[in-house]
Amino acid sequence: MKGFGPADAAFRRALRDVLGSDNVLEDPADCWPYGYDNSRRQARPEAVGFATEAGQVRDVVRLCNEAHVPLVARGRGTGTTGAAVPVAGGLVLSLERMDRILELAPDDRLIVVEPGAINRAVQEAAATAGFFWPPDPSSADYCTVGGNLAHNSAGPRAVKYGTPRENTLGLRAVTGAGEPIRAGVRTTKGVVGYDLTRLIIGSEGTLAVITEATLRLTPLPEDRRAIRALYTDIGSAAAAIARVMAQPVTPSALEYIGGLGLDLVRDSPGVRVPPDARALLLIEVDGPAGCVADAARAVAAAAKGAGLLDIEVGGRGEDAADLWAARKALSPALRGLAPKKVNEDVAVPVSRLPAFVEGVDGLSARYRIPIVNFGHAGNGNIHTNLMVDPQESGQVERAERCLSDLFNLVLALGGTLSGEHGVGLEKRAFVTREIDPVTLEVMRRVKRELDPNDILNPGKVLPEPVGPA
Ligand SMILES: Cc1cc2nc3c(=O)[nH]c(=O)nc-3n(C[C@H](O)[C@H](O)[C@H](O)COP(=O)(O)OP(=O)(O)OC[C@H]3O[C@@H](n4cnc5c(N)ncnc54)[C@H](O)[C@@H]3O)c2cc1C
């Protein structure tokens, strides 16, 4: 085993003293399962520790900082970019046993939770008081609030309700130097000091380990309606997206599936997609019971226009769920298209979606790589799946060049390389294309200030080693 460096035995003893022997794994066979995430990358940590309270997180970070041992905070390992993979070895600090709901305060519209709380558990606790926390990744049944904050993860509802950055009032965290900090407020207004809450959210565990989060709650909507609109071409669908976003009713979801995606699900049970449909919009509106029917009518009117083939407005429950059948059938259907998918989650301004989809079609043809587009059109956040068969000669290389051109296209359109999955390892090499050198240097200085020995998740987010202060 590689070990923690010259003070290996002393470090291991100190770790067990802080966490208790039952909360430390050291056998390599036990450590492997904590070294991967949904990117399918894997690296073995030298040990895994389970914190059960914030004081332990502080003490473990201090130990790692003194011994210069890399530390990767871990929720449930559902991230898709390798952000939780311990590529520099060292310690994985799992927060999964810090999963308590600490306080539910409906009057203040907030809930205070530990970082290992599962998103679904937070929703269930909030629902007992008639509220919800808007971030809704489709992994909500498994992923943690700590992971959600570290990646600023969201889902369909972000178009109306925002991401964790808009839905977190404050947090407690431990910096790489082992300092426990408290950022933010318990009020919906607050302007004292710098906004460290927003800085730490989205930083992928590279600046601080989150030990507590004060989440802003929203009342559960009384009612919702789903609308499904089919178009002859993406240009018509993109124009409809722009019309929907330009009218006063904000949809609570505005999802898109492009032509190749529709081809994949056309024959799935419950999916009624005519052969000439090349684009599908799934729209949802929610709100007070007396208003939702009118809101649905307004959104449906905006969705109508040139190229519309069919539009259905569903009721509640199963009726509305039926309209989502195509979206639900898509992910499993992708597996049948090619053995490997390169799943990107780029975002462009909504007004540039037509140019984006046209550009992607061009890249798909030029590099002979099938590309399936679907996703959160209301945020301009499109999951772009390059379908690759590694057995086919030259396809992996063509996919790499196609991906590089795809990122250039996104940036030329004023977009960003990741809307919600983050940088991790996967996009690290491309960060310099989006962030200019001066801004990047300021980010490096922030990192050095909060994590002077570069122990927190080294090798992630920023494009090259940050190095000690
Ligand atoms: C089936 C599936 C569906 C998905 N759907 C979506 C989706 O709709 N939208 C979306 O945005 N994502 C989605 N994801 C990606 C993933 O679920 C999210 O990124 C999620 O927020 C990760 O949470 P986690 O607890 O698994 O974090 P992990 O994967 O364990 O960690 C992710 C990052 O967070 C850091 N981290 C974890 N806890 C802390 C902490 N306490 N303090 C500091 N840093 C910490 C880690 O170091 C790492 O950098 C999906 C994944 C899967 C497998």
Whether residue 316 has pLDDT greater than 80 = no
Question: What would the mean pLDDT of 78-87 be, rounded to a whole number?
Answer: 96
Ligand 1 is surrounded, with C-beta below 6 A, by 37-38, 72-80, 83-84, 95, 115, 137-139, 143-144, 146-148, 150-151, 153-155, 204-205, 209-210, 420-421, 457
Length of the chain: 469
3-state secondary structure 123-188: HHHHHCCCEECCCCCCCCCCCEHHHHHHHCCCCCCHHHHCCHHHCEEEEEEEECCCCEEEEECCCC
Side by side, the strands of the sheet bearing 253-258 are 308-313, 223-231, 279-287, 253-258, 371-376, 381-388, 340-347
137 CA to middle of ligand 1, Å? 9
Answer yes or no: is pLDDT of 195 > 70: yes
Which atom of ligand 1 is the closest one to the Cα of 420? 11
State the number of CA atoms in the 13 A half-sphere of 126 facing the CB.
26
- Distance between Cα 326 and ligand 1 center (Å): 25
CB of 91 closer than 8 Å to CB of 69: yes
Tell how far the Cα of 314 is from the centroid of ligand 1, in angstroms: 32
**Which residue out of 139, 328, 345, 447 has the highest number of ligand 1 atoms within 8 Å of its CB and is therefore the one to mutate?**
139
Please, are residues 103 and 63 in contact by the beta-carbon 8 Å criterion? no
Distance (Å) from CA 203 to ligand 1 centroid: 12
How far apart CA 359 and CA 163 sit, in angstroms, is 27
Instruction: Give the Å distance between the CA of 205 and the centre of ligand 1.
Output: 11
Q: What is the pLDDT of residue 318?
A: 59
Residue environment code for 118-135, b if the CB has 16+ CB neighbours within 10 A, otherwise e: bbebbbebbeebebbbbb
- Work out the percent of the chain whose per-residue pLDDT is above 70: 97
Lowest mean pLDDT among 115-124, 205-214, 260-269, 405-414: 260-269
Report the candidate in 324, 384, 391 with the shortest Cα–Cα distance to residue 356. Answer: 384
What is each CA distance from 116 to 87, 164, 213, 277, in whole angstroms? 22, 15, 10, 43
Q: Ligand 1 centre from 163 Cα, in Å?
A: 13
Confidence grade of residue 466 (pLDDT, cut at 50, 70, 90): low
Q: Which residue, by CA, sits nearest to atom 18 of ligand 1? A: 79
CA of 78 to the centre of ligand 1 (A): 5
The pLDDT confidence band at residue 314, using thresholds 50, 70 and 90, is confident
- Ligand 1 centre and the CA of 239: distance in Å? 33
Own/partner pairs for 97-103, CB < 8 Å, 24+ apart? 97/23, 97/50, 97/51, 97/52, 98/51, 98/52, 98/53, 98/54, 98/57, 98/211, 99/144, 101/125, 102/212
Q: Which atom of ligand 1 is nearest to the CA of 72?
A: 47
Share of the chain above pLDDT 90, in %: 85
If one residue of 52, 58, 149, 151 were mutated to test the ligand 1 pocket, choosing by the most ligand atoms within 8 A of its CB, it would be 151
Ligand 1 atom showing the smallest separation from residue 148 Cα = 21
CB neighbours of residue 313 within 10 Å = 20
- The candidate with the shortest Cα–Cα distance to 234, out of 119, 374, 47, is 374
Query: Is 467 a residue whose pLDDT tops 90?
Result: no
- How many CA within 13 A on the CB side of residue 396? 5
Q: 325 or 359, which is more confident?
A: 359
CB within 8 Å of 255: residues ≥ 6 apart: 156, 281, 282, 283, 327, 374, 375, 376, 377, 378
Q: What is the mean pLDDT of residues 62-68?
A: 97
Q: Which atom of ligand 1 is nearest to the CA of 173?
A: 42
Hey, how many other C-beta atoms are within 10 angstroms of the C-beta on 390?
Answer: 11
- Report which protein residue has its CA nearest ligand 1's atom 53: 78
pLDDT band at 1 (very low <50, low <70, confident <90, very high): very low
Best residue among 60, 78, 175, 327 to mutate for probing ligand 1's pocket (most ligand atoms within 8 Å of CB) is 78
Mutate to test the pocket of ligand 1, among 85, 100, 142, 153 (most ligand atoms within 8 A of CB): 153
Q: What is the DSSP letter of 114?
A: -
**DSSP sequence for 198-210:** HHHTTSTTSSEEE
**Closest atom of ligand 1 to CA, residue 79:** 29
Question: Ligand 1: distance of its center to the CA of 371 in Å?
Answer: 24
316 touches 227 (CB < 8 A): no
- Specify the residue with its C-alpha closest to ligand 1, atom 9: 137
pLDDT, one tens digit per residue, over 426-444 is 999 999 999 999 999 999 9
CA of 153 relative to ligand 1 center, distance in Å = 7
Measured in Å, residue 165 CA sits from the centre of ligand 1 at: 15
Instruction: State the pLDDT confidence band at 330, using cuts at 50, 70 and 90.
Output: confident
Q: What is the pLDDT of residues 343-355, one digit of tens each?
A: 899 999 999 998 9
CA of 94 to the centre of ligand 1 (A): 13
Packed helices 54-67 and 8-19: angle between N→C axes, nearest 10 degrees: 170
Which pLDDT does position 327 carry in this prediction?
Answer: 79
pLDDT at residue 315 is higher than 80: no
How far apart are the C-alpha atoms of 421 and 83, rounded to whole Å?
10
Q: Do residues 381 and 255 lie in contact, with contact meaning Cβ atoms separated by under 8 Å? A: no
Among residues 172, 125, 301, the alpha carbon closest in space to that of 227 is found at 301
Q: Give buried/exposed letters for 7-27 (b at 16+ CB in 10 A, else e).
A: eeeebbebbbebbeeebbbbe
Lowest mean pLDDT among 110-114, 143-147, 316-320, 406-410: 316-320
Indicate the average pLDDT of the chain: 93
The number of the ligand 1 atom at minimal distance from the alpha carbon of 115 is 41
Q: Which ligand 1 atom is the nearest neighbour of the CA of 144?
A: 25
pLDDT tens digits, 15-26: 999 999 999 999
3-state SS class at 268: coil
- Cα-trace Rg, the chain: 23
Element (H, E) at 56: helix 54-67
Kindly give the distance from the C-alpha atom of residue 214 to the centroid of ligand 1, in angstroms, as a whole number.
Answer: 18
Distance 77 CA to ligand 1 centre (A): 6
